[in-house]
Every structure is written in structure tokens, then in C-alpha cells.
Structure 1
Amino acid sequence: MCYDWLMVSERDGERVVPPGDGRHELLKEVPGAQGGGGSESLTTVLVAFLANVLIAVAKSVAAFMTGSASILAEAAHSWADAGNEVFLLIANRRAHKPSDELHPLGHGREAYVWSLFAALGLFVAGAAVSITHGVQELITPEPAGHFVVGYVVLGVSFVLEGISFLQSARQARAEAQTLQRDLIEHVLATSDPTLRAVFVEDAAALSGLIIAAIGLIAHEVTGSSIPDAIGSILVGVLLAYVALLLINRNRRFLVGQEADPRVREAALQALLAAPEVARVTYLRLEIVGPRMISVIGDVDLAGDDTESHVAVRLRALEARISASPAVAGAVLSLSAPDEPSL
């Protein structure tokens, strides 16, 4: 059974962990133990960026030719998404900078900072522009034309957005299966903000294209721009919801969030399975970046060594834990005799 960053297998109903001889790290990252998760996220963002730039240009031309409010809203949406992907690329790059004296746990939380900027950009450049233009269209309606151009652009955009969405869904589904989560649960819970942002934004983009198409069809059939304007407003509301969702998720990781309880349980069992650990009385796993945690705990070591030997054994145990690519740092202390075991 595998949970998030810890690899814990099962054999004959019993948990199996790496042997405690110092030759193996105590905790192993599950997905992307060799950094594959980061490169996969980079591919997902690049695919989304290229798709959104092409779509934004096409929608802008179509909005100019048709005069459709909902297509203009979609153009603003795509330009906002393309700009957001730049922030996500920065987030992916800066989050993988190595640790230094000023940042002993690495720079992983920078991913949430830049992803937060992207979400704010989606709210301002996407939602606000779409809603404002829709309201203006209701107040001062303008006729539209060249509807066929609009339909073709929306259709091509749907295909391109679908390609980007399938890439993010493929990555998310593979990780979700490893962690025994359903797809949506994993997207909302993952510590990778770039994967979450691309998946959610692509899903919103596909929904927005459907809304825009309905608004454009209603405009052509009725001859009234009101349905088109309402479509623009609905696209803006959808983008505002998505932006607030992403802002809230990044906020929670920035202020400090514990790892999934299943991850904590797997880590606890792995520690207890180590031959040098008799008890664990405190354990805190905090997410400090995409697929990265810090480990803080109190343990009771087996045997009755002198104080100097105990300190050496604690440092060795910390080193084994920190050897996992998923662990940014580990700090262990000795448990007090009267502290209950977890």
C-alpha cells in the first residue's frame, strides 16, 4: 500500500520497509522518487502554455470579427491562462532550487507563491474583464456577425484545450491511482500547485467554451446580444470561482499544512519498523513544497546507550530519513519516559 511520499509495500499482510542497516533511506517518495514528478509537471505546463497562446490569438481575431461578447470573454480567459502558465513555469523552476544556509528546507514553498500570483491574475485579467464586458454589453448592446468564424474558432479551441486537459488528467490520474485517491480528490489535495492549476483551468476553459458557444448560437438565432452578454458574465463567474479555489489552496500550503493522515500513518509505521526505534511519541509531517515534507518527531531508541552514543544514533536516523528525495529535513528528539506512544 502506497501513500503519497512514502513507499510502504505489503507482503503477506505485513508492512515491509527498507532494512535498518543504514544502506537505505527510511522513507521513499512515491510518486517521482527520482524527480520525475517535477519534470512531468513541467511538460504539463508547457503543453498548456502553447495551447493557450494559440487559442488566445485565435479567439482575439474571432472576437474582433464577430463582435461577440462571450468570445471576447473567452479571449480574455485564454490570455489570462497563458500569462498564468508563465507564473507556473517560474514556480516550477524556483521550487527546485537547492537548499542553502538561509533556506535549510529548500525553496519548495516558492511554488505556492508564484501559483498564488497566477490565481490572482486569473481573477483580475479573466474574471473581472469578462464580467465587466458582459455588463457593458447588456447596457449598450452591439450586433454581431461572421458567426461561422466564431464557431470554427471555438471548435478548434475546444480541441486544443482538450489536448492540454488530457495531459494534465493523465498525470493526475497516474498519481491518484498510486495514492489510492480518486481523480478530483487528488487534484484538490496534491502538493503540486502547477498540476492543480493546469487541470482546473483547463476544465474551466472547456466549460467556458461550451457557455460561449451557447451564447453565440442564441445571439444568432434571436438576433439579440443579451444571451451573448449573459454568456460573458457566466464565463467571468466561472473564472472567479476557479481563481478563488486556487487562491485558497495555495494559501493553505503557504501557512503550513500537515501531510495527509494516511501519509502520517505510513511514516509512523515505517519508523516503528526500524530496529533502532522502540517508540514514537510525537510526529509532525509538514508540506514544505511540491512532493516535499519536513519530519519532526520524538522517538525512544532501543537499548541503553550513553548520551553521546544516543546522539550519534539520532543523527544517523535523521540522515536515513533525510536521504529520501521527498524529505527536505528531519529533526528528531528523545522521548520523555512518561510520554505515551503514538
Structure 2
Amino acid sequence: MTSTPDRRTTAPDPARASGRSDDREGLAGDEGAGGGESLLTVALALAANVLIAVAKSVAAVVTGAASMLAEAAHSWADAGNEVLLLIAHRRGERAADAAHPLGHGREVYVWSLFAAIGLFGVGAGVSVTHGIQELVHPEPAGSFVVAYVVLAIAFVLEGVSFAQAWRQSRGDARRRHRGLVEQVLATSDPTVRAVFFEDAAALVGIVIAAAGIAAHQVTGSPVPDAVGSILVGVLLAVVALVLIARNLRFLVGEAVDPGLRDAALRRLLAMPEVARVTSLRLEFVGARRVFLVGAVDLAGNPVEDEAAHVLALVERRTRDVPGVVGAVLSLAEPEEPALVPADG
């Protein structure tokens, strides 16, 4: 290619026209399920956690069990987190504007980070603190049947919420040919990741609380109950730190995985105007949203003026692919090697 390299940026257009028919699934489809299912996952988790939190709070007052109080704090923290996740989803979905040409997608990681910090401070902090206080100043517990009934109901409701998060994540994992946990950790959608891990931790926490209360009932000692409260807090702290770390990485800027990059490369090479792709970088700028930068060699060796128009056309087609919120393409240097998808 002998044309003078030309570089231009195409701002995303919220009301953009559809691209070619073979682009309609888009990179959003390659990365995971859409935002509508994520919203359902969070809303279901919120409804379940509010009901569970009320029931556990009543049971904590009636029984005086430390593990039950830890579980009540856990559920209230989860309910508060779900509210923050709903805010994250709403604000992250706002359309691009002149001040935010790539949209507001990264804001979803800010609110999800707040939710994870809340889980650490409220859920983990209250559970560990109360467990330690119970060890230092033990108090008797009673009405164990109430505790077991509430925990059983909570397990069922948490299971329903977790099943939705698991079903969505499993579908995404199959599309990406990944393991379930690998997909949950890698997904660019922090709301699904938060609900999945929080519900999983809730189910484990209920088992820990039941074991601590049962040991208290059998031995008459409040120590197992207090230890159960501390273990629930440690569990929540670990989950919160994982969520905080993942949100921070996406806020700083996370490159897409090789599979998604190959999908974008194949789409570029499928365009008749593109002969070669020599550079390609994609970064997440929100849940299922990427920003693309690359260098291409145009087919037919067009002259400079024509090359500029063809390059602009390729950029428009690229940003018309669902999931791509912006694209910057330049003309490749002749000596640069061509990129080839991993599957050839």
C-alpha cells in the first residue's frame, strides 16, 4: 500500500442505521448475553434478598444467635448492593453524547465497585465484629426451630436467585467455550458477576450458619455460633475483594480476550474493502461494549483520496456492529505483517 497513512476517529451515533445483515449478532453476542437478562438477574436477586433479610432479622432477634445476625447483615448488604447494581445498569446504558462520545458504559464499574465495598464494610465487617463480641461476651440463644425454618426458606429463595445467575452465566460460557467460573470472572458485565458470587456466598453462608447454630444447640456453648459468624464474615470479605479487583481492572482498562479479538478480526477481514489487518486492539468501555483501534490495508490499492473515503466506510461499518461503540482505523504500512485469526 503506497497511500499516505490517514487516521480518523468516528464518533458513535446512538441512532445509527443498521449495518450489513451478517453483522447483526455483533461482538455483543460474542461476549455474552444482553443487558435485559442481566437486569432480570439483578431484580430477582433484589426481591429475594429483601424477603430473606427481613426474615433473618426477625429470627436474629427471636433466637439471639450470632450466626443468624451475621446472616441478616449479609442479606441486608446484598439487598443494598442490588440497588447499587440497578443504578449501575441504568446509568451505564445511557446513550453517547457530545461530552461522552463513547457513552457512559464505564460507569457500571463505578457503581459495582461501590456495591463491592459495601459488601466488605457492611456484610463482612458486621459479621466478623459481632462474632468476636460473641466470643468475648457470650449470650444464650434459643428458639432454634425458628432459626432452622428461616434458614431453610432463605436457602430456597437464594437458590432461585442463584439459578437465574447460573443459567445466564452458563449460557454465556457455552457461547465462549469457557468454564462457568472462568466466564463469570472474565465477563465485562459486573452485575452478573456480583449476583453470581454473592448468591453463591449466601448459600455457603447459610450452611455455615446452620452448622454453627446446630453446634450451639447440641453443646450449649455459644462458641461454634460465634465462629460461624466470623466465618461468614471472612467469606463475604473474600467475595468482596474479588469483585473489587475485577471492577478496578475494568475501570483502568481491560483488553478483550483472544477469542473476542479473533471475532473482530474475522469481521474486518470479511469486508470486501479490507485486504489485510496488521494491527488490532480492543478495550472494554462498558458491559458488552468495546472500543476498537486498528490498521488495515485496503483492497485494490486505491489512490489517496479514494482510500480516505473507503477507510471511512470501513470505520462506519465497524462501528455499526453491535457492541462496538467507537472505531479508529488507519492505513497499514506495507512492511507490517498481516494478522491471522487463531483458527486460521
Query: TM-score surpassing 0.5?
Result: yes
In structure 2, the residue matched to 1:40 is: 37
Residue 67 of structure 2 corresponds to residue 66 of structure 1: no
Distance 1:168 1:301 in 2: 44
RMSD: 1.5
The list of structure 1 runs, each at least 4 consecutive aligned residues, that deviate by more than 3 angstroms after superposition, is 22-28, 30-33
Partner of 2:273: 276
Note if 1:258 corresponds to 2:278.
Answer: no
CA-CA distance at 1:323 after TM superposition: 0.7
Q: Distance in 2 between matches of 1:122 and 1:307?
A: 57
- 1:299 positional shift: 0.7
Shift of 1:304: 2.4
Q: Provide the rounded CA distance (Å) in 1 between the counterparts of 2:315 and 2:244.
A: 34
Indicate if the aligned counterparts of 1:168 and 1:195 stay in contact, CA closer than 8 A. Answer: yes
Q: Could you say what secondary structure the match of 2:103 adopts?
A: coil
Q: Select which of 133, 136, 140 maps to 2:133.
A: 136
Asked if 2 retains the 8 angstrom alpha-carbon contact of 1:97 and 1:106, the reply is yes
Structure 2 residue 171 is the aligned partner of structure 1 residue 177: no
Code of the residue aligned with 1:220 in structure 2: it is Q
Match of 2:34, SS? helix
Bigger relative contact order (CA 8 A; separation at least 6): 2
| 1:212 equivalent in alignment to 2:209 | yes
- Counterpart of 2:73 in structure 1 is 76
The equivalent residue for 1:6 is none
State the Cα distance separating 1:338 from its structure 2 match: 2.2
Do residues 124 (structure 1) and 121 (structure 2) align?
yes
* Cα deviation, residue 175, structure 1: 1.4
| Structure 1 unaligned blocks of 5 or more | 1-21
Deviation at 1:36, TM superposition (A): 6.4
Secondary structure in structure 2 of the residue aligned to 1:257: coil
Pairs within 5 Å for 1:16-55: 23-24=20-21, 26=23, 28-29=25-26, 37-55=34-52
Residue equivalent to 2:306:
309
Structure 2 counterpart SS, 1:251: helix
Deviations 1:132-191 (A, max 9, x none): 000000000000011100000000000000000001111111111111112111111111
Segment drifting more, 71-80 vs 168-177: 168-177
Contact 1:172 1:195 in 2 (8 A): yes
In 2: Cα distance, 1:131 partner to 1:58 partner: 21
Quick check: 2:27–2:264 contact (8 Å CA) kept in 1?
Answer: no
**1:225 maps to what in 2?**
222
Deviation at 1:23, TM superposition (A): 3.5
Would you say the 8 A contact 2:27–2:324 is kept in 1? no
Give the structure 2 partner of residue 91 of structure 1: 88
Aligned partners of 1:31 and 1:178 also within 8 Å: no
Quick check: 1:25–1:324 contact (8 Å CA) kept in 2? no
Matched, 1:148 2:145: yes
Q: Distance in 2 between matches of 1:197 and 1:91?
A: 12
Deviation at 1:274, TM superposition (A): 2.1
Q: Structure 2 length as normaliser, TM-score? A: 0.90
- Equivalents in 2 of 1:166, 1:272: separation in Å? 39
Distance 2:87 2:243 in 1: 17
- Find the aligned partners of 2:42 and 2:124 in 1 and give their Cα distance: 21
Residue 164 of structure 1 is aligned with which of 156, 161, 166? 161
CA shift digits 1:102-158 (9 cap, x unpaired): 111111111111000000000000001100000000000000011100000000000
The number of residues matched between the two structures is 320
